[in-house]
Structure 1
Amino acid sequence: MATITSKISAPAGLFGRTGSSASGERRVVRKRRLGPGKAIPFGIGLGPAILIAVWVIGSAAGTIDPETLPAPWTVAQTAGDLIADGRLQSNLLTSLQRAVIGLVLGVSIGLVLALISGLSRIGEAVVDGPVQIKRSIPTLALIPLFIVWFGIGEEMKLVVITTSVLIPVYINTHAHLRSVDARHVELAETVGLSRWGFVRRIALPGSLPGFFTGLRLAVTISWLALVVVEQVNATSGIGYLMTQARTYGQIDVIVVGLVIYGLLGLFGDIAVRTIERRALSWRQTLGD
């Protein structure tokens, strides 16, 4: 039996080469992992850097018509002029206030509704239907109704952002609450956990991945909704600045606004991902 066992070796093509030491021990060279590999430092900036490089090269070579898309240096000069006269800072501050307030309200409401619906069948029967109805109705279709209800002031803009943001937070958090492993529920019942103990120790930690996925979507959607509402009779904000530029044919100012929206969305996503990695440090994924 010992002779048969000693002749059995792992296939070289599957585990790599094997070697024998003087004591007859065998060691296996570990093959490279099948995942995407280690994270690239500052890799999230690689894609935007390539886009900017293509923009610079195309503008310098004359491939990109400056009447269609101004050159990067023209846009940078326009941004400097807007900063010098104070217009960019004041409008950016207004947009940030609207987006942050709407985001905080939407995330809070979406999370509360997800907990009510995800932890109670009665709550699900009451809450899930209206949320799914709102999910299927585009935000643009609701703006005329919101204008009638709330006017054209700040209240209407915050309502549009809030109702847009709460949907992804609700959907993803609710889905993860409902997908908690039944064995964990049985274990909680076995050890005698209370309802609140089950929620605090099992349900909430289990729903965190879904919550952060919804939060990342919510950050992006808050800026998308902001672009829409700031072009509805607004008197301040980046969207208002872009609307005025469109009226006067100032394409460079429009591009400045688009770049700012893009950077805010990118940095917002980076911030959420950083918080997510720290909050879910216990979970090993392919992205680690």
Structure 2
Amino acid sequence: MLRIGAAWLSTVALLLWWFLATLSPADSRPLPSPLEVWQAGAQLVEQGMLLPSIGVSLARVLGGLALGLALAVPAGLVAGASRLGLTLIDKPIHMMRAIPFPALAPLFIVWFGIDETMKIALIAVGVFGLIYVNLRDGVRGVDPHLLELAQAYRLDRGTVLWRILFRGALPNFMTGLRFALTVAWIALVTCETVNSSIGLGYILSRSQQFSRTDQMVLCVVLYAALGLASEALVGVLERAVTPWKQSRA
């Protein structure tokens, strides 16, 4: 309990600074107070906009994450386990990673239109590279003696990939997943500014147009909270799938 309290000290200090910094009259400060941000959130809830927007944004992030994982996991396994696979796919993927994914938005609009497909695809691009690189390096770092043992027991290739290589690369995979979730929330802001009528990015864009700093800060706080919740969920998942790592700690 003491460790949990200590972990939140910096966050509590930041919130306290925010409260003290906004004690002056509203017309003399650029930052809204916590109460004003709370009231802005309550107003958006009454309008029926905030909760559906959070749900839609979550669905977009999860959809992009699922698509990115579906593409990155096989690619990372193949590139990590095979020299031929590494030669064929590694350089094109690195070239794609070098392109800022917001720069792909106009091209994706031409390819996929301006509906949900474009948004999920853009998030998937941001997710893909981080999962791929971490999983590839994790597979290449698996103890070669395990592969020799698998060869001695004549295990089939599928068993070697999933039971030895992927399992051995799980710590690296979880690290990539942490970074990928962060990038997914960043990509969400970009894609929700395109033909969106709902979502946190839409609320943020609209609040900028009408100079509603209380709603802007509300969106920032919600992004931070959702990012923190994502990190906590990944931590729970990591403890579940890598129990040996926790026992060593």
- 2:52, 2:19 → 1: CA distance? 29
Asked if residue 137 in structure 1 is aligned to residue 99 in structure 2, the reply is yes
Give the residue type in structure 2 aligned to 1:77: Q
Give the residue type in structure 2 aligned to 1:246: Q
| Structure number with bigger Rg | 1
Give the residue type in structure 1 aligned to 2:52: S
Asked if residue 162 in structure 1 is aligned to residue 124 in structure 2, the reply is yes
The Cα shift of 1:222 comes to 0.8
Q: 1:249 to 1:111 in 2, by over 3 A?
A: same
- 1:187, 1:264 → 2: CA distance? 43
Gaps of 5+ in 2: none
Of structures 1 and 2, the one scoring higher in RCO (CA 8 A, sep 6+) is: 2
Please name the residue that 1:105 is paired with.
67
Q: 1:269 to 1:82 in 2, by over 3 A?
A: same
Give the residue type in structure 2 aligned to 1:228: T
Give the residue type in structure 1 aligned to 2:71: I
Please name the residue that 1:21 is paired with.
none
CA contact (8 A) 1:59 1:65 kept: no
Task: Provide Cα deviations, 1:156-208, integer angstroms capped at 9, x if missing partner.
Answer: 11110011111111110110001112222233334443433333432121110
Q: 1:48 to 1:127 in 2, by over 3 A?
A: same
The count of corresponding residues between Structure 1 and Structure 2 is: 249
SS at match of 1:86: coil
Please name the residue that 1:146 is paired with.
108
- 2:28, 2:187 → 1: CA distance? 29
CA contact (8 A) 1:107 1:218 kept: no
Give the residue type in structure 2 aligned to 1:152: I
- 1:205, 1:43 → 2: CA distance? 33
CA contact (8 A) 1:59 1:66 kept: no
Please name the residue that 1:51 is paired with.
14
What fraction of aligned residue pairs are identical, expressed as a percent? 36
Gaps of 5+ in 1: 1-37
- Say which of 238, 261, 279 aligns to 2:223: 261
For 1:154-193, what aligned pairs fall within 5 Å after superposition?
Answer: 154-193=116-155
Task: Give TM-score scaled by structure 1 length.
Answer: 0.79
Q: 1:283 to 1:63 in 2, by over 3 A?
A: farther
Q: 1:187 to 1:276 in 2, by over 3 A?
A: same
The Cα shift of 1:121 comes to 2.1
Give the residue type in structure 1 aligned to 2:64: G
RMSD over aligned CA atoms reads 2.3
Asked if residue 221 in structure 1 is aligned to residue 221 in structure 2, the reply is no
Give the residue type in structure 1 aligned to 2:35: W
- 2:202, 2:209 → 1: CA distance? 11
Task: Give TM-score scaled by structure 2 length.
Answer: 0.91
